[in-house]
Amino acid sequence: MSDKVVLAYSGGLDTSVAIRWLKEKYKLDVIAVTIDVGNEKDFSDIRQKALRVGAVKAVVIDAKKTFVNHFIFPALLADAIYEGQYPLATALSRPLMAKLLVDTALEEQASFVAHGCTGKGNDQVRFEVSINALAPNIKIIAPAREWGMSRQETIRYAKRHNIPIPVTVASPYSIDENLWGKSIECGVLEDPWAEPPEDTYTWTKSTTKTPNEPNYIEIGFAEGIPVSLNGQEVDSVGLLHRLNELAGEHGVGQIDHIENRLVGIKSREIYEAPAATVLLQAHQALETMTLAKDQLRFKQKVAVEYADLIYNGLWFTRFHQDLAAYVRNTQRFVTGTVRVKLFKGNSSVVGRKSPYSLYNLGLATYDKGDKFDQSASVGFIHIWGLSARNQAEAQLLSQNESPPNLSVTKRTKKKKGRLLNESNSRTLSAGGQ
């Protein structure tokens, strides 16, 4: 009796070839598992294709709701954006897929799990670290990393074994997509100087084709989670679908990024993330209204750590659990509504309100109704500046030094742009002796 391997099956060239290759190389029965995280695919056709190619069983799992509620929204609460640009769409889907592959392997009593990643990207790390964290005893096989075939050799292998070649193989791009975003790479995009051709983007319109009037939308949040759109409650999956449509219509969500991969390579990545762009922006705007200054400053540091651990495949770690607990606690009062303007490729927050707002008009206004006691500022400045004044008295005035001269003086050197003499420059840059 053959042992079994659970294969993460996309229906593409590599994973289709992997079904036959795993049977040839390892004498394993292949159980193909396809996971729907919001991909625009014919999953019935993909399942049938896996069986035709040679899988003993093919399973399609609808994981959209789980993906949004347990992976996307926690990342949204953390404001997780890798290197300030990438909303982590593909990276977020991998730990979920790894969990479902492990679950299937345990149910089917399979000793192996396989994925279609190459040895050059980040996904191999995300899959394997997650699988090892969830089931250390399951063995992992990476066919595309092992077989050593080029793209053309893989195509020839498929033809030789009558494996259907997807139409997308003819596409110049490598594409991965889910509800949180779409990643596009390869082809002309590998030249960082080349502007992405218009056909690169399919979710977002070119600004030359977007409406000439802006669209204003209102997003309601409850404890950091988006729950309504334009005053109407909407389920989590439906909300992302609708925001992708609305923001994409106005060209919002195009990202062109030189990215630092985990394996040490710089990669030019193109992303489309209309819903993610708008929701992250709106969520951050509501936080500025409901979190205190120190909370915001520290949470920004946590956001960088959170984004890095997602990108680096460390979702199933105690470190993530610790950060997630902190993030969740910060969201107790992040409730309210944010108004966003969509227009010509841009989304901008133009209004926000919350029952827990820390914005106090009586303190902020300069008009009638000002409640701020300006006379208290004298004492505040005296105490706040005490350290600076004390240091000046002890170290500056005691040495009979003059304060820095900020006036423009005659140039003492011919170097272009030098406006201060050498002595004053030294004083200003070093803060004196």
Q: Which residues belong to the active site?
A: 14, 94, 123, 174
What is the C-alpha to C-alpha distance for residues 293 and 104, in angstroms, rounded to an integer?
A: 46
For residue 389, give the nearest of 378, 379, 399, 397 by alpha carbon.
397
95, 130 contact by CB (below 8 A):
yes
Q: Please tell me what DSSP assigns to residue 172.
A: S
What is the C-alpha to C-alpha distance for residues 182 and 344, in angstroms, rounded to an integer?
A: 20
What is the C-alpha to C-alpha distance for residues 268 and 258, in angstroms, rounded to an integer?
A: 4
How many other CB atoms sit within 10 Å of the CB of residue 165? Answer: 15
Q: What is the DSSP string of 363-387?
A: HH-SSTT----TTHHHHHHHHHTHH
What is the C-alpha to C-alpha distance for residues 68 and 96, in angstroms, rounded to an integer?
A: 10
Bridge pairing between strands 112-114 and 4-8: parallel
For residue 127, give the nearest of 3, 4, 10 by alpha carbon.
10
Helix axes 89-108, 123-134, angle to 10 degrees: 40
Tokens found for residue 385 = 């500046």
Any residues with CB less than 8 A from the CB of 259 and at least 6 apart, and which?
82, 83, 85, 86, 266, 267, 268, 269
